Structure 1
């Protein structure tokens, strides 16, 4: 999955050094004003191109029509639809089409419909963009209307457009139809379909082929082929500093089905799609260009991965790496090369972005610890990439220092999925790391289960279906340690970021859950947001919380506004009192507190999406002030001081 998150800067934190005396009921935090280090600032139709198929090598025959027709069904009696390997395909990238065969003596409305991604949200305040390609494969004298519509489950027409089409285009010529429409009323639910129909009497005996059918609601920032607004707004609402793309495992399960940048750019008709890592078809309509423009629209940096010769269970031999290294070089050139006269940068310019995108970090592969051959691949890739792109920083994705890599990595990507208890107990994980110039990217982390022996098991075994307060509080405790160690931890991202609720491929828990009509912002979403939107510039050292304790904090300061951000995580059910001693002579008498607290098992679900949300209240402050952290809570205290 692609991951959005905040770099340590987005975690935003200046930490104030703290000297502490801890009792069961009372903790005193003495804040030091001397900074130790800076904080770094770091679609609606499913199966729209019929890519979900197996093709026979002996004939133009699709072997598995069940998969091939995922989300599609016929409208009208007796007419049939089938996915075929078209002898005159729309493009070589999209060799399949949907063939509609209308029997003689047909009557009524005939055609086909698509159920979307487990539904389609029909909203009367939105204008939708729809398009398709069609051709008549056989000689035809047909001339008449083709209707495109949004329909409810009862068959009510919510929005429609009509085109006059003619069989005169018979043969290999494809014709594209484009339209926009606005529903006259909103659907009662999301159980709506996108329908393409003709009059059965007029079209009796006809055969038509269709390809690349598309339906889009309004998109974020109005981008063509862009992001769904509510999902994008939720992601932007975190205040992220970076976006990790195209994701970790999304780089590919096999060599043949790996993510290839050049298959995800240019016109949609030239994007072949692929079987994704989790088993479902990817259209790659959301490609490298869309990822990069989304980064620009939200105001975040990209941490971009290149495929590095490894897929689960197989590795490219050392002697055969060069074509894959060249593909990585071309991918980077698409993003940052200034010369748009030819090559990958010319493709970028043709898509509307002649200026290079911003890029600082490139990950070389993903989780290669499952294969012992990362050493020669890292060496080969770095020998080429560092020479051509000396200003970029390359992140190793093996375990830190295991194996020993040449050249020595200056950045490592670390992943951890664990229990809430583990995260709290490991808030000091990075404190003892050597300060030798190596930096770390906590590229994937989340509390996934209460059961350390079955982190990826079933719900009955402790797996979280949705983030719960106990997991989010544990993550917050861990994040205070990331802030404290922001001199070496330059970025961190929760994973998975997004999860559609309706599919068995839904990996839990997710930061943001969604379906056809709604978005669920989890308890962990709000914790990440609280850390990210309350950003400091520097961390101030202090005596530390107890490594074996249940109360964790970090203090940061934003120099431009003189705001102190004191983040506190209480990982037990009992409230705990804290006395803060500020090293400033001019402290405002009032501040604010953002607080997320509920019982440990509480979560935001489809049934109750807002069960747990942060509250904002007033705080009485002074150079010394007391505050009580409720049980199972995460808080950000904001105080103005100088």
Structure 2
């Protein structure tokens, strides 16, 4: 977090605070600086099932029994038996692969009827008749082989009604070797809810004995048809934000609770049978079905660029790799970057090309670790390993290899002082609506010395400053509110004003399951069939879709007040874009004295509501922006409703 005070730089505009009926905003026609193309984007990590069970298109949970203890009840998470079958996760004597040593063993009793297994998905499975699902699994008969081929039925079934919505039959051959079967499922109707399961059943009269299963999959159509890609509705909602960058893979989930469980790029590539997964840092297993290659392909399809993090020698459990032992980890980070940008004559570039992308990806920014400010000890005499050697060891080696990449530090700005001096910092802040309104000048007084800033995480988490990370009963938000979102807009206006040094900003967290979450609030919430666009989502979209090209200085607002604005100029088509946040409980009138003649009308996009209004699963569209036409002139008078964000686009005459 960057602690700066800009109060001495801010002047009070004429307006309601001085007893006037209107606030006069004089807009300077000479731009102070261009607005970076990268200003608004997305911060991502797999938290609250935002990856597995969220953005990743796979619908089956615990599909390959990764990182579980065989023989335990927990190993059967999301799985249950059908009919008289007996099921257990076992360490297979002939594993599907070294990465996937466990399998689901199904014992079919003699004389049984229809028996098998079912998976409840990530807290339900959507049944959509407009989709064709790709389904698959591996199987083998470990002991007694059937006398001939037998049929297995793969279905989507209502968990309680037992209604079959889609079904397909596949043939299992009598083999002790692992064999994959694939099929497609097209539902004949939709289900009334998401309480549905994926089933695999056999006729117990045709075979009694043991079947081992591994790596199941149920995949609806992915966004833009990407292989092993993204869930359509979530990806589309993110696309509609018009983001310019994607920060990945985290966040805390990069670091691992231990050095051994850190995120490792090379364990997330290639065939799914070669991906062991890992116990993530938010209480559940990450399949790593979404690997570095899938992220990069999707980033490219979205028209974004990556801000990629590399592991920097520290795990959340407190372990730091000693300085003398860092070399292999630095090399792993170097290889990660080479995979992204290396030409095909390099091992990393050749590996990337073998997966289908011979051209290097764009990579301009790399973070060294995550939130090192929490590991820098400013009180005791014990030095932070990030400060004392980890930052220097990583950045010296990587900057020398990749001089065109800007490497980002994750401590506080100049606290501690790092050597070599970082070119950029990633700063995070979670605060109250009042704090965000009062800190629109956060970066105003920062020395312009070539250092740039990435506000990588920010959000209103509570209305109570003593409960920013606490419980809802004490003010912690479950979903963003109108009050929170229009206050965040003030902070974002400060990014626009200071975008000569703030090159990127992203709300966090990005995604969270509506019930299975570790953090609130989230920009987008979801369950197995719907996506809820929060009030903060709409604020982010209103800024990103109306970014402009040049920042125009104007009369500054009073940071102790509730009325704020920002003015930018757009090149194509030529227009002024005015953003007005009224975080107060009364309407406010402004007059914008624009620097040149404008057209007689413009466009108004407006978000408004009561302070505690939220978009929720029960009412996902309670608060949405409304677009209308507005009369315009060079001295433009505008009345901002209470608790609102307004974006006015006025073409130049």
TM-score bin (small chain) = over 0.9
Equivalent residue runs for 1:46-445 within 5 Å: 46-54=61-69, 62=70, 65-77=72-84, 79-106=85-112, 108-142=113-147, 143-153=149-159, 154-167=161-174, 169-170=175-176, 173-204=177-208, 206-251=209-254, 252-312=256-316, 313-339=318-344, 343-371=347-375, 372-375=384-387, 376-445=389-458
1:241–1:18 distance in 2 versus 1, CA, 3 Å:
farther
In the alignment, which residue of structure 2 is the partner of 1:59? Answer: none
Q: Give the ranges of 4+ consecutive aligned residues of structure 1 lying more than 3 Å apart after TM superposition.
A: 17-20
| Partner Cα distance (2:561, 2:187) in 1 | 57
Partners of 2:65 and 2:350 in 1: CA distance: 29
Residue in structure 2 matching 1:22, options 15, 18, 23: 15
**Aligned mates of 1:141, 1:395 — CA distance in 2:** 59
2:49 corresponding residue in structure 1? none
Specify the alignment match of 1:519 in structure 2: 531
CA 293–18 in structure 1, closer or farther in 2 if over 3 Å, else same:
farther
Report the secondary structure of 2:611's partner residue: coil
Q: Distance in 2 between matches of 1:48 and 1:344?
A: 29
Distance 1:66 1:614 in 2: 47
1:283 offset after TM fit, Å?
Answer: 0.2
Quote the Cα distance in structure 2 between the aligned partners of 1:188 and 1:548: 51
Quote the residue 1:41 is aligned against. Answer: 37
Q: Confirm or deny: 8 A CA contact 2:433 2:463 kept in the other structure.
A: yes
Normalised to the residue count of structure 2, the TM-score between the two structures is 0.92
User: What SS is found at the alignment partner of 2:295?
Assistant: helix
The alpha-carbon deviation at position 105 of structure 1 amounts to: 2.3
Counterpart for residue 645 of structure 2: 634
Three-state SS of the structure 1 residue aligned to 2:181 is strand
- 1:67-88, Cα deviation, whole Å (9 max, x unpaired): 20010000002x2110011111
Q: Report SS of the residue matched to 1:262.
A: helix
> Are the equivalent residues in 2 in contact too, given 1:581–1:624 (CA < 8 A)?
yes
Structure 1: gaps spanning 5 or more residues: 1-16, 55-61
SS at match of 1:269: helix
Q: Could you report, residue by residue, the CA deviation over 1:502-545 in whole angstroms, capped at 9, with x for unpaired residues?
A: 21x34110000000010000000000000000121111223311
The alpha-carbon deviation at position 178 of structure 1 amounts to 1.0
Distance 1:91 1:370 in 2: 39
Secondary structure at the residue paired with 1:311? Answer: coil
Superposed, which structure 2 residues align to 1:544-555 within 5 Å?
544-555=556-567
1: CA distance between counterparts of 2:153 and 2:360?
42
Is the 1:83–1:96 Cα contact (8 Å) retained in structure 2? Answer: yes
Q: CA deviation at 1:583?
A: 1.1
Cα deviation, 1:409-436, whole Å, max 9, x if unaligned, reads: 0100000000011000000010011111
What's the CA shift for 1:188? 1.6
In 2, Cα distance between equivalents of 1:386 and 1:268: 33
How far off is 1:346 after superposition? 2.4
> Separation in 2 of the partners of 1:176 and 1:258?
31
CA RMSD of aligned residues (A): 1.3
* 1:509-588 equivalent positions in 2, closer than 5 A: 509-584=521-596, 586-588=597-599
Shift, 1:501, TM fit: 1.2
Indicate if the aligned counterparts of 1:310 and 1:368 stay in contact, CA closer than 8 A: no
Work out whether residues 344 and 353 of structure 2, in 8 Å CA contact, stay in contact via their aligned partners in 1: no
**Given that residues 51 and 281 in structure 1 are in contact (C-alpha distance below 8 angstroms), is that contact kept between their aligned partners in structure 2?**
yes
8 Å CA contact 2:86, 2:107 repeated in 1: yes
1:18 Cα deviation from its structure 2 partner: 10
Contact 2:115 2:202 in 1 (8 A): yes
Indicate the larger mover: 600-609 or 246-255: 246-255
Cα distance in 1 for partners of 2:16, 2:151 equals: 79
Give yes or no for contact 2:127–2:190 (8 Å, CA) kept in 1. yes
The structural deviation recorded for 1:19 is 9.3
Which structure 2 segments of 5+ residues have no match? 1-9, 39-57, 376-383
CA contact (8 A) 2:554 2:567 kept: no
Structure 1 residue 405: deviation in Å?
1.1
Secondary structure, counterpart of 2:234 in structure 1: helix
The answer to whether the Cα contact below 8 Å between 2:67 and 2:277 also exists between their aligned partners in 1 is no
Match among 491, 496, 513 for residue 509 of structure 2: 496
- On the 8 A contact 2:367/2:407 being kept in 1, the answer is yes
Secondary structure of the 1:591 match is: strand
Q: Secondary structure at the match of 1:561?
A: coil
Deviation for aligned residue 1:148: 1.0
Matched, 1:469 2:474: no
| In structure 2, distance between residues paired with 1:253 and 1:448 | 24
TM-score (norm 1): 0.93
**Structure 1 position 52, deviation (Å):** 4.4
Counterpart among 610, 617, 637 of residue 621 in structure 2: 610
Q: Take 2:443 and 2:536, find their aligned partners in 1: how far apart are those partners?
A: 21
Q: Secondary structure at the match of 2:465?
A: coil
Question: How far is the alpha carbon of 1:257 from its aligned partner?
Answer: 1.2
